[in-house]
Amino acid sequence: MRHQMLCQPAATALRFELDQGESITCEVGAMIAMSSGLTVETTSKSKGGSGGIIKGLKRMFSGESFFLNHFTAQQPSQSLLIGPTMLGDCVHHTMRGGTMIVQGSSWLASTPGIDIDTTWQGFTSAIFSGESMFWVKCSGSGQLYLSSYGAIHCVEVNGDYTIDTGHIVAFEDSLKFNIGKASRSLIGSFLGGEGLVCKFHGQGKLYYQSHTLPSLGSLLGPKLKAK
Amino acid sequence: MTSSLQYEIQLRPDFSLLKVSLDQGQKVYAEPSAMAAMSPNLKLKAGFKGGALKSLGRLMGGESMIVNTFSAENGPGEVLFAPGHLGDTQHYRLTGGSLYLQRGAYMANSEGVEISGKWQGAKGFFSGEGLVLLKASGTGDVFFNSYGAILEIDVTGDYIVDTGYIVAFEDTLQYNVSVLPGLRGGGIKRLFFSGEGLVCRFSGQGKVWVQTRYVIPFLSWVDSFRPRKDK
């Protein structure tokens, strides 16, 4: 399987070239177009893996859809075009074992070797991060595709790194984190508009996005007609 | 005989801006409110182009009944058009054939091109995108825009596109609206849970242009931020 990122960075789409028998699991609704030799299977579990209804329900809480779409090539050299809902970039991460924690809505697609589950990030981090309480936990090996709202950056954390909670896209679980104040005093951090930040420590990859969806939503929401 | 327009599409694909340079006497037609800037010697005339029936057809195709005409008087001039939302602009040269445009995709055209609504029948009804597509035919230039970037797909044989992502396609292609292959056996339940809705299966030889984002899912996301009415 080969992939290609198109039209980066604001309206990125992904093109996959699949050979006969190869398959890829995508977020529901992500397909733009595809060749006619691909079939789609909608399930609530990872391809050939465990899962079922409980994992499906957990995924729903994480901001992902209950169901996953598996695209499988029935003929040689098939192509598939997918794109996320929001304007923004996509990134590809190669997993060789280990676990990646992905923000609820950023998971876009992955190859069959990756198991998709959700994880509980603890009560405080959920409330204060402004993000969904559940995160998507991807483990195994293969290719993982993530989407962001805005541009996406990757840092190799070695030691300490501080990031605004809303900007996190994904991180390797070799990184430990705790939620803290941005400035020394609590009032100062809220007045500064930064709220709470995530302080990572350890070694691993961290992906973050330039913009956050909750701030777009709170900007647009009040301007819309009440329903 | 229609001469082709001199044009340039700048800032692609995210903030595309179409610049058209007109010789004296030359005209370009565009949808209302697409104009961003123009030379002072250009004359703008708004009107129902092609009579009542054609205008009604455009209305049914998701466009305005009014078409603005820009003509260069007393020397050459230029005009800039921008789409209403973030996205790309694409040029297509018509040479006697026809191009179908999705609702709202039309932006501008040169002389010699006729824009009309084309009844799609049951196909249109099931695609969820409206019963009427816009049809551009004749000889000349046509410009259309998208939400997100535009990708060109050369179809030889069969290709499947989600109905929401179609921007335009050549009329040499046949199409029919169906559910995704593999979902067919699963019945109606599968269709709804897959989230992919209905797809258009193109066959034959020709080009299809797709957009990389779809505005409807974005709108339903924004909707969740709408304030609630006080009871």
Q: Percent helix, strand and coil across chain A, each rounded to 5?
A: 15, 50, 30
Predicted TM-score (pTM) of the model is 0.84
Question: Which residues on A lie below 8 Å from B226 (Cβ)?
Answer: 221, 224-227
Query: Cβ–Cβ contacts within 10 Å for residue B42, how many?
Result: 19
Assess if residue B231 is contained within a domain: no
Among A52-61, A152-161, B3-12, B193-202, whose mean pLDDT is lowest?
A52-61
Summarize pLDDT for A19-29 with one digit per residue, the tens: 999 999 998 88
The pLDDT score that the predictor gives to residue A21 is 92
Candidate from B159, B183, B228 with C-beta closest to A33: B159
Query: Which residues share a beta bridge with A63?
Result: none
Q: Chain B: residue nearest A219 by CA?
A: B225
Which pLDDT band, with edges at 50, 70 and 90, does B196 fall under? low
Assess if residue B62 is contained within a domain: yes
Counting residues of chain B whose pLDDT is more than 90, the rounded percentage is 38
Count of domains forming chain B: 1
- The domain of B201 spans 7-223
Assess if residue B120 is contained within a domain: yes
Question: Averaged over B136-154, what is the pLDDT?
Answer: 92
Question: Which residues on A lie below 8 Å from B208 (Cβ)?
Answer: 33
Question: Which of A36, A16, A33, A10 has the alpha carbon at shortest distance from B153?
Answer: A33
In terms of CATH, what superfamily is A2-213? Mitochondrial biogenesis AIM24 (3.60.160.10)
Candidate from A36, A66, A85 with C-beta closest to B218: A85
Most A-contacting residue of B225, B228, B229, B230 (CB-CB within 10 A), to test interface: B225
Assess if residue B170 is contained within a domain: yes
Summarize pLDDT for B86-130 with one digit per residue, the tens: 899 999 999 989 999 887 888 999 998 988 887 766 555 555 555
Summarize pLDDT for A164-196 with one digit per residue, the tens: 877 889 999 899 888 777 666 656 555 555 566
B137, B114 in Cβ contact below 8 A?
yes
Whether A57 shows a pLDDT value over 70: the answer reads no
Among A68-72, B127-131, B167-171, whose mean pLDDT is lowest?
B127-131
Q: Chain B: residue nearest A82 by CA?
A: B212
State how far the Cα of A56 lies from the Cα of A65, in Å rounded to an integer: 8
Higher pLDDT, B171 or B126: B171
DSSP-derived secondary structure letter, B213: -
Burial class (CB in 10 A: 0-12, 13-18, 19+), B133: buried
Kindly report the average pLDDT of chain B as a whole number. Answer: 82
Q: What is the CATH number of the domain that holds B215?
A: 3.60.160.10
3-state secondary structure of B137: strand
Chain A residues at the B interface, defined by Cβ less than 8 Å, are 6-7, 10-13, 28-29, 31-36, 38-42, 65-67, 69, 72, 81, 83, 85-87, 213, 217-218, 220-222, 224-227
Query: Cβ–Cβ contacts within 10 Å for residue A161, how many?
Result: 19
- Cα-to-chain-centroid distance, residue A74: 28
Question: Which of B74, B193, B62 has the alpha carbon at shortest distance from A70?
Answer: B193
State how far the Cα of A224 lies from the Cα of B225, in Å rounded to an integer: 8
State how far the Cα of B38 lies from the Cα of B33, in Å rounded to an integer: 13
